[in-house]
Amino acid sequence: MKKLLLFTLSLLVLSCAKDLDYDVVEYTIVPEKLVIAEDAGLRLASNIVHGNVDINVKLPSAGTYRIRVLDLTNRIVSQDKIQAPKGDNILKVYVSTLPDQSYTVELLTLEGASLGRDVFAIQQ
Amino acid sequence: MRKLLTLLITLIGLSAFSQDAYLDLVFTGTNVSVGDEISVFVKSTDSNSATPSLIQFDLEYNNALLTKVSTTYSVLSNGTNSTAQTANSSFASYQWSDGSAVAAAQLSDLYAGWNSNSAGYSSANDWNVERFTIQDGQDIVHGNLVEIKFTVKDRSSSTYSDYSNMVKLNWGRMVDNSDNTNYDVDSQTDAVGISAVAGVNAGAVTINVQSPHSNKDKMQYKIYDVSQTETVNGIVQPKSGENPLLSGDFDNSGAFQTSTLSLNGQYYIDIDATDGGSGWMDNIATVTDAYKAFQYAIATDINGGSTGIFEYDLQKVLGDVTADGNVTIDDSFEFLAHINGYTVSSDISTANASTHYNGLMSDYGLEDSNWGTKLFTVTETAKTFNFGHAFRGDLDFSHSTEPTNAGGKNDNFTVSSIINPNTGKNMVISNSSQPDEIYSLDIASSIVDGKVELNINLGKEDLVGTQFNIVYDNSILEFESITYDSGNDMTNFSRSKDNKLWIGSLDYNGEKTIKTGTPYKVVFNMITPVNNTAGLINYTVTEGVKANGTKVNFNIQ
């Protein structure tokens, strides 16, 4: 009896779904600590990092952007070119090969205009 | 006539025998150091058949410089006056204040003045007075009367600038009690001091190392007392097994201060460096150093004789990374191997091993001083010392101090006279005459078709050499390949080991230049899928060199 009831319910659900008309909307679930209120910017999940850290790069429009890692002397030690859609993009910064010190991570347009930056230190 | 003769005899007697005896202070110590115990004797000397049975005197000593330890009556052991009566009274914080016109050496006159209250004592924190009385039923034999022992204090904590006149006789008298004869007593040495005391704290002494790099806090010093050193083959060095008096790290400005050295102390300093695991010392010798070494080594005349000239004599040892006494093509290939990530010689400075040269800036870089004097003497006027320091392998002085003494320059060096024989161009194997230049460089990684690509894009075409040292996260990436587009005839190099890559090009003849565009493209496979590459690939060295030896630092765009 119990099995028969489940089978009937499943058929009912499937028949209803067949008639639904829907659009697929891509939506990035942004953890609270990575939420950026502005239209564009950059936010780190933590400013003390071990191994890697989540980062939200919020873009004003889809396209190619740069993510830079700069050392204390403002020397670029790593540069990533990303192609990403408009809005929030949850990515990572990898630090396991960097010497223990403090770094700045910066989001820029391809032409070099800064959209946001933050500072992190490597956990020793 | 008789009266005249008597007067003359009297006058002669007065002038010839104006004093009957002397009381003197005697100090004969040498090589005195702070903390040493010294002895000051009070000695009587006969001048005119004085036969005192009572001797009294006051002396004072500076308690800021001396601590009284003991008093011994030497007179009791002269073989005659062993039963003499003695007395010693001490008065702390008083000093002789002679208000009369009597000379300090005229002790019995000073006594007379003091005894009639025309001169006396006043309070003085730094001085103590000692009064001695020696009395016997027979004549006191002249000679040492009293020995007073003191410990020498460090004057750095006082207001005194030296140890002069720190014990003084204030007055003295000698009396023959049998007939109450008061003798005239003078002093030939009424005050004693010490001209030089070792171990006086010098206060703050500053040592600077004038290194041009940003890792000065990884520079280290070891300081030895000169007594811990020896000279071997004309070179001063610490004796085997000696532990340094002081050791430690410089601060990030290349300085350290100490308050433990002594005035007039002579010291020896060794300066070296440690990598600390960051790898900065692996990047001391770079493509510019390699190119300079090649240019020096291949510069020959038609008979094969060397025509290479360094700007500084010191470069002859900095470039001699095979330690065979000359900079030759062998050294050049050592440099090339190093920038390819190989360690062939332990004489090229790296994170694992390094050779250092240092000395006072006054003669740093002079061959005659073995590239720099390591001995220094702290004095009242010399408490800051500036040292130069160089790493073997650092031909372009990127991490080393350039000599400032003109004697360190090669007499034959002139910029215009040094021509690359292969190109006819200026071949400047120096630093000061050819400051670094900065070029823009676009270097970035990205994900392309499921792989990670690192593209290095160059915008100017006048570089004969480049070097890119790269570290990547090999838990995520696996090196796959390098594609060169640096020019048909350019010699390229690369090496992959563990999580490191060494990439570059060098035409050591200085004839060909690296193409603009994307001379280097590195491809990695992803071991672990990633969505972006930020921080995965890091650049530790990005450098170029021009045909004339100018170092080019890349400003990454």
Query: What are B47-71's pLDDT values in tens digits?
Result: 999 999 999 999 999 999 999 999 9
Q: Does ipTM come in above 0.90?
A: no
Beta strands in B34-162 (DSSP E): 37-46, 54-62, 66-72, 85-97, 120-135, 143-152
Amino acid letter, residue B34: V
As a whole number, mean pLDDT of residues B434-455 equals: 91
Nearest CA to B385 out of B293, B273, B267, B299 is that of B267
pLDDT at A25: 59
Per CB-CB distance under 8 Å, the chain A contacts of B471 are 97
Q: How confident is the model at residue B435 (pLDDT cuts 50, 70, 90)?
A: confident
Contact call for residues B452 and B446 (beta carbons, < 8 A)? yes
**Candidates A66, A94, A97; nearest CB to B444:** A66
A76 and B539 within 8 Å at the Cβ level: the answer is yes
Mutate to test the interface with A, among B479, B536, B555 (most CBs of A within 10 A): B536
Q: Inter-axis angle of helices B329-339 and B287-298, to 10 degrees?
A: 160
> B490 is written with which tokens?
């350019």
Give the burial string for B7-21 (b: 16+ CB within 10 Å, else e).
Answer: eeeeeeeeeeeebbb
> A58 is written with which tokens?
């919020």
Per CB-CB distance under 8 Å, the chain B contacts of A92 are 530-532, 534-535
**pLDDT above 80 (res B426):** no
Percentage of chain B beyond pLDDT 90 is 70
**Candidates A73, A105, A112; nearest CB to B534:** A105
Mutate to test the interface with B, among A76, A104, A107, A108 (most CBs of B within 10 A): A76
What does the mean pLDDT of chain B come to?
Answer: 89
CA dihedral over B523, B524, B529, B530, signed as positive or negative: negative
What is the four-CA torsion angle of B8, B10, B13, B17, rounded to 10 degrees? -140
* Residue A93 Cα distances to A30, A122, B349, B527, angstroms: 16, 11, 33, 17
Residue recorded with tokens 């058929």: A11
In a 3-state reduction of DSSP, which class is residue B132? strand
Interface list for chain B against chain A, based on CB atoms closer than 8 Å: 214, 277-279, 443-446, 471-473, 475-476, 499, 530-540, 556-557
Closest chain A residue to the Cα of B213, Cα to Cα: A73
Model confidence over B112-129: pLDDT tens digits?
888 777 668 889 999 999
Q: Which domains does chain A have, with CATH numbers?
A: 32-122 (2.60.40.1930)
Neighbouring-strand partners of residue B523: B453, B481
> Which of B48-52, B189-193, B350-354 has the weakest average pLDDT?
B350-354
Q: Which domains does chain B have, with CATH numbers?
A: 17-198 (2.60.40.680), 205-417 (no CATH), 437-556 (2.60.40.680)
**Candidates B278, B443, B476; nearest CB to A94:** B476
Closest chain A residue to the Cα of B557, Cα to Cα: A112
